Chain A
Amino acid sequence: MLQRKEKTNFNPIIFCLLMPIALVILISIVTIRTKFGYILESPLLQCFSTIFISIILEALPFIIIGVFISSLIQNFISEDTIEKLIPKNKYIGVVVAASLGIFFPICDCAIVPVVRRLLKKGLPMPIGIAFMLSVPIINPVVLASTYYAFPDAPYIVLLRGSLGWISAITIALILDKLEINNTKKVHSLCNRLIYSNDNHIHTHIHSHNSTHNESECACTHHHHHHSNNKQSSLYSIFEHTNDELMEVGKYIIIGAFLSSLMQTFLPEKYILSIGKGNVSSILVMMALAYMLCVCSETDAFIARTFVGRFTSGSIIAFLIFGPMIDIKNTLMLGQAFKHKFIFKLIFTIILVCFSVGAAVNLLKISL
């Protein structure tokens, strides 16, 4: 936060000063590389950075798409349109939002910026949550890849889709119940405030930038921003993309860092050896899904390798828990929601996914 306050007043002198500094850094990089080559080439560090970079690279295009869609929404869809489109009945709204995923080929990395934007535009919380949780599971690309991963058991696609859909709705409704008091008591008018992060208070810095200031109070003063930049809308979209990428990118990098740290130093083998029982296996697989951070389009192939070694309930739990939440998504949520709310959200997701897994185990559905 502190660095945000120091605003660089850019002038050529600074630039002239920076050039030699850059040169020194470049030279020092070369010397560090030759001197500490053996450390830098150590297998563990190599593994770690490979995984780290690969998670970022893999997520990058989808994040860009997500941020881009979010910028489009910011620039072209007004609060009124959203209000008109939302069904009046809350329950219908949640069900519709959860089903929309069939038409949206967005995976779990891209969905968070989009939902965040929609919520700031006035989408009610349960509807947004249902949308966010179900889209990465029931979208066509993910279902197709699930089908290819389990060619001899096509009903898994159905199982994953329907259970994911049901649990997304359940989670959204539970959260609605949990949050309803908060919403009514404190912010009866400005209920969007509960999603915003408190430490994100910014002054309006430049005309286009409407990303930061909404968090202060979402309903009062961010309407006037996007009316005056219609003429240069393409530029403003890119600028907006830039700003948002800057915000979201931070969380992706930290998330990728944690995930690769765990993958290199916390052996998957040991986690897997913790339990194969009816209950423990579900927990183990959910922990694995949380820490692996793989895209929902590929996790089916990973789940494939566990068939037979783990209970079927745990594999279903892996398949629906992974897309809903993982390390990098948690961090991205941290930017949009209050921490207390995120705890509630994650706890509910864990609870619901666990019960789904346990139910599958109880019914003895075999994969």
Chain B
Amino acid sequence: MKWLIFLIGFTYYLYYLISTQKLYLFIHPRMTIYMIFSLIVFTILCLCQLKKVLRKNEKFDSPSLVFFLPLILIYLVNPQGLNSDIVSQKGLATSYYNSSSNNSNSTVNKTIEITDSNFCDKIDDITYNVNKYKGKEVKLSGFIYKDTNSPKDTFTVARMIIVCCAADAEVNGITCYIQNSKDFKNDEWVEVTGKISSIKNFDPTDINAKFIPLVNITSIKPIKKPDNPYIYLKKV
């Protein structure tokens, strides 16, 4: 009986996640097909268990109460994805791909727009070739993260990058400078435009780079948190 409740609860949750696409808050979209597969299996298991429960004489094991932990969390907390608190736990990642893309058009003196699709490549390219990009204008959006180490009036505009599921989320971003940064709080989503310069590395865990890029913000405006806060890393 308990197992049946768990099965039904979980099957419904899976259905809910898939139908509302909330699934993407937890795992990479490419896993959707697996989720549909588990939904089907769970439905079948539900029916099997129902049959078993309805057959009066049959006795069955009840599972331990552990199974209700996820159900309670699912329906009570109703998790809405990761937020910048986790960044302070995980720390900032440096790179996924370096030098994987050689941007031939980087000489064009236009604003570099960083979008969801080229976020990792661009950020890494800028991080590793600060000098090439110095003085260029760049535009990106993300959430604000203030590290305890960051110098005054700087913060990181970062995005969460997901390879497979939320458990392996990494945070990648670029440091920005603006006067009176107190006006901006952690986890606020902003779109910034600014000129790239460099700053001495203040992150003691990253010993690779002496200088890291810094965006001197010329304009900043708050934006709404996108429906899909993550960037999904394509597995080629």
Contact = CB atoms under 8 A, between A and B. Distances in A.
B81 A50 contact: yes
Interface residues of B, number: 74
A49 B79 contact: yes
Contacts of A145: 235
A53 interface: yes
B166 A242 contact: no
Interface in A144-166: 145, 148, 151-152
A54 B26 CA distance: 5
A242 B100 CA distance: 46
B45 interface: yes
Interface string A60-74: 111010001000000
Contacts of B205: 269, 272-273, 309
B27 interface: yes
Interface residues of A, number: 78
A176 B165 CA distance: 36
Please indicate which of the listed interface residues B45, B84, B170 has the most CB atoms of chain A within 10 Å of its own CB. B45
Nearest to A240: B48
Interface in B166-200: 166-168, 170, 187
A264 B235 contact: no
Contacts of A239: 48, 52
Contacts of A61: 31, 34-35, 37-38
A217 to B, nearest CB: 20
Contacts of B48: 235, 238-239, 242
Contacts of A272: 91, 205
Please indicate which of the listed interface residues A8, A242, A292, A308 has the most CB atoms of chain B within 10 Å of its own CB. A242
Interface stretch (A82-90, A222-230, A244-252, A349-357): A244-252
A64 to B, nearest CB: 5
A12 B168 CA distance: 46
A151 B97 contact: yes
Interface stretch (A95-103, A299-307, A313-321): A299-307
A60 to B, nearest CB: 5
B85 A7 contact: no
B100 to A, nearest CB: 6
Contact of B164 (A40, A263, A294): A294
Nearest to B65: A3
Given A11-B56, A50-B82, A309 B25 contact: no
B99 interface: yes
Contact of B77 (A4, A40, A295): A40
Given A64-B38, A267-B88, A305-B94, A57 B26 contact: yes
Interface stretch (B67-75, B111-119, B130-138, B213-221): B67-75
A95 to B, nearest CB: 31
B90 interface: yes
Given A148-B235, A292-B167, A305-B170, A58 B31 contact: yes
Interface stretch (A132-140, A190-198, A254-262, A359-367): A254-262
Interface in A10-66: 10-11, 29, 32-33, 40, 43-47, 49-58, 60-62, 64
Contacts of A265: 89
A49 B73 CA distance: 7
Contacts of A238: 44-45, 48
B76 A40 contact: yes
B167 A55 contact: yes
Interface string B43-58: 0110011001110101
B61 A267 contact: no
A205 interface: yes
Contacts of A152: 99-100
Given A47-B85, A53-B73, A268 B91 contact: yes
B76 A43 contact: no
Given A47-B85, A61-B37, A253 B70 contact: yes
Nearest to B55: A10
B163 A4 contact: no
Nearest to A301: B163
Given A7-B60, A47-B85, A309-B208, A292 B168 contact: yes
A312 interface: no
A268 B89 contact: yes
Please indicate which of the listed interface residues A57, A243, A293 has the most CB atoms of chain B within 10 Å of its own CB. A57
B153 interface: no
A297 interface: yes
A351 B77 CA distance: 41
B97 A254 contact: no
Contacts of B45: 238, 241-242, 245
Please provide the 9 A-B residue pairs with the shortest distance between their CB atoms, ordered closest to farther.
A54-B166, A61-B34, A298-B164, A54-B26, A269-B91, A58-B165, A49-B79, A43-B85, A54-B165
22 contacts: A29-B76, A49-B74, A50-B80, A52-B70, A53-B74, A53-B166, A57-B26, A58-B31, A58-B164, A152-B99, A242-B48, A263-B167, A264-B89, A267-B88, A267-B91, A269-B91, A276-B207, A292-B167, A294-B167, A298-B164, A301-B168, A309-B207
Interface of B: 1, 3, 17, 23, 25-27, 31, 34-35, 37-38, 41, 44-45, 48-49, 52-54, 56, 58-67, 69-70, 73-86, 88-91, 93-97, 99-100, 163-168, 170, 187, 204-208, 233, 235-236
